[in-house]
Structure 1
Amino acid sequence: MKSPFIKWLVLSIVLILTTEIFKKIIHFDDLVYNSLSEQLTSQQVENFLGFQKKWQWVGYIFIPIFLLIKTSIIATIVYIGLFFFNKNFNFKSLWNITLKAEFVFLLVPIFKTIWFYFFQPNYNLQDIQNFYPLCALNIVGYKDLETWFVYPFQTLNLFELAYIIYLGYQIGQLTGTNTDRGLKLVAYSYVPALLLWVVTIMFFTLNYS
């Protein structure tokens, strides 16, 4: 898969499939029904689920758009970082390595499926929403944690670390240097942008929760 457009398409399709398989295995509709039935009548819940299924295709369209925006922004950040390191590469090659690194996150829904199927068979919708495999949140727990601290503890995970290392490796390969130089560039470009994003999410969560 040399073309980044093919990588983007494959990544989108696989992510949609793994997400749908996960929702089927955990009986997502039943979880939503049980959660909403505490606040709404049965008819209102049925209407909501019917509306959700009717517009389910919007979610399928959103995933590739989200991936396109996310990887393009990260590629732009890396491009700016390379510029300051006096390295000049075309955007397409940077978008290509960003898409390669993004495949790491395909393991997340797989790990979540394994966890809830084998290790935590008793769960509710809140457990699903707050669980992220191999992250700091699983150590501290979300129930006694302030809402605006949930996302940063979710972001602090081994998948993100693997993503950073692999992205650094790819940049080292692209620039003809080594992984150490690639990681240095990631540390000066992607990592600060990620921290800014986490702080932004924390700010909005704090203000609207």
Structure 2
Amino acid sequence: MDTLNAANRYFYFGMICFVAMLYALLINIYYLNYDIIHQTYITQLSDDNVAAVLETSKRWAWISLLFLPLVIISRVLYTAVCLSIGGILKSDEAAFMKYFNISLKAEAVFALMLLTKLFIFGCIRMPADLIELNIIPFSLYDLLKQHHLEKWQLYPLQTINIWEVFYALLLAKLLSYNNSKPFLSNLLFVCCTYGVGLLIWLLIIVFFTVSIQ
């Protein structure tokens, strides 16, 4: 924990981006293929259309690599803002950059999740379609194995996962290391700040998903 807390945030951010880009690169090269697209749209697209979709997906997959650092920094900022608002309401004098640094270090959980997905795909089971390719391992959706759900149900069931639990626990542990407060007190703080922020985000995504259906 000392090593994690003391790690240079620029180097650490670079390592998180490296893992995310490595994951996206390997998925694009080894798993995003004709069979995956064909199995996903088997009753909807002709062979020519499947090839066109694959070509477009490959092109955008390479471009999306450039946006991964922005996605990661946005997620870190969102968590830091949630924690910071909670700190302000509690009259906590911790600076925003302290919360930002803690949120960044906790991203190790999601980097581990990506590596776990690669391990599962490489050693346990190959994804059969795009749905399986995008499943978060050990999420509620993964455990239920339900493929006939409404679109608006997919994101919440994916977001309820063991990694979010680990993320909250690591946030609380890092907070305890920095403010010397009991772990359970900081865990409650995380649930009331990041947890509420995550719930708000889920409601926004569900609202827009239902609206465009």
Q: Same fold (TM over 0.5)?
A: yes
Cα displacement (A) at 1:34? 5.5
**Deviation digits for residues 123-169 of structure 1, max 9, x if unmatched?**
1222223x221111123223233221121111111110000011011
Structure 1, gaps ≥5 residues long: none
| Letter matched to residue 104 of structure 1 | V
* 1:157-172 correspondence to structure 2 within 5 Å: 157-172=161-176
Cα distance in 2, alignment partners of residues 62 and 121 from structure 1: 26
Which residue number in structure 2 is paired with residue 110 of structure 1?
Answer: 115
Give the 3 Å change call, closer, same or farther, for CA 150–40 of structure 1 in structure 2: closer
Contact 1:4 1:99 in 2 (8 A): yes
Which residue number in structure 1 is paired with residue 87 of structure 2?
Answer: 82
Partner SS for 1:71: helix
Deviation larger for 182-191 or 111-120: 111-120
For the aligned residue pairs, the C-alpha RMSD in angstroms reads 2.4
* 1:154-193 correspondence to structure 2 within 5 Å: 154-193=158-197
Partner SS for 1:145: coil
Match of 1:208 among 200, 209, 212: 212
Q: How many residues align?
A: 207
Which residue number in structure 2 is paired with residue 137 of structure 1?
Answer: 141
| Letter matched to residue 131 of structure 2 | Q
Match of 1:198 among 177, 190, 202: 202
Contact 1:169 1:178 in 2 (8 A): no
Which residue number in structure 1 is paired with residue 32 of structure 2?
Answer: 28
Which residue number in structure 1 is paired with residue 3 of structure 2?
Answer: none
Cα displacement (A) at 1:22? 3.5
Contact 1:15 1:106 in 2 (8 A): yes
| Letter matched to residue 143 of structure 1 | H
| Letter matched to residue 139 of structure 1 | L
Match of 2:105 among 93, 100, 105: 100
Q: Percent identity?
A: 24
Which residue number in structure 2 is paired with residue 62 of structure 1?
Answer: 67
Contact 2:141 2:157 in 1 (8 A): yes
**Deviation digits for residues 61-115 of structure 1, max 9, x if unmatched?**
2110011111012111111111222211222221111011111011222222233
Structure 2, gaps ≥5 residues long: 1-5
Cα distance in 1, alignment partners of residues 162 and 201 from structure 2: 18
| Letter matched to residue 181 of structure 2 | T
TM-score, scaled to structure 2 = 0.84
Deviation larger for 13-22 or 156-165: 13-22
Deviation larger for 53-62 or 35-44: 35-44
Cα distance in 2, alignment partners of residues 159 and 41 from structure 1: 38
* 1:144-159 correspondence to structure 2 within 5 Å: 144-159=148-163
Partner SS for 1:144: coil
Cα distance in 1, alignment partners of residues 38 and 79 from structure 2: 37
